[in-house]
Amino acid sequence: MARHYHPEFRAQAVELAKTSGVSVHKIAMDLGISRTALRKWIKQAGIDAGSLPGLTTDERKELQRLRRENAVLREEREILKKAAAFFAQEENRK
């Protein structure tokens, strides 16, 4: 299960990695996080700052929201299709 860290903690960890001159490995160990997590945070900070290509944090959140909404709409559409078919059958039986 992935752990979730407060955005301020992430930002401070990234800033520390950028400015301290200490290796990512050492900083990650000192903070009790994985090197992979810290590297991802550093990369995402670069994307958010516009210095690296990719989806910004806000764009990722919006994409997740839209995917959830899309799933709900698909489910609702399927329910409506089944309801329409049911009522059409009922109408034909009369």
Average pLDDT across each block of 10 residues of the chain; the chain has 94 residues. List them in order: 87 97 97 97 97 97 98 98 94 80
DSSP assignment of 37-50: HHHHHHHHHHHHHT
Residues sharing a CB contact under 8 Å with residue 24, sequence separation 6 or more, in sequence order = 17, 35, 38, 39, 42
On the CB side of 61, CA atoms within 13 Å amount to: 5
As for how many domains the chain has, the answer is 2
Same domain, residue pair 43 and 78: no
- Residue 1's pLDDT is what? 66
Q: What is the CATH number of the domain that holds 13?
A: 1.10.10.10
Determine what percent of the chain falls in helix, strand and coil, rounding each to the nearest 5.
80, 0, 20
The residue segments making up the domain with residue 10 are 1-54
Same domain, residue pair 45 and 73: no
Same domain, residue pair 23 and 67: no
Same domain, residue pair 68 and 24: no
pTM greater than the 0.85 cutoff: no
d(CA 54, CA 51): 10
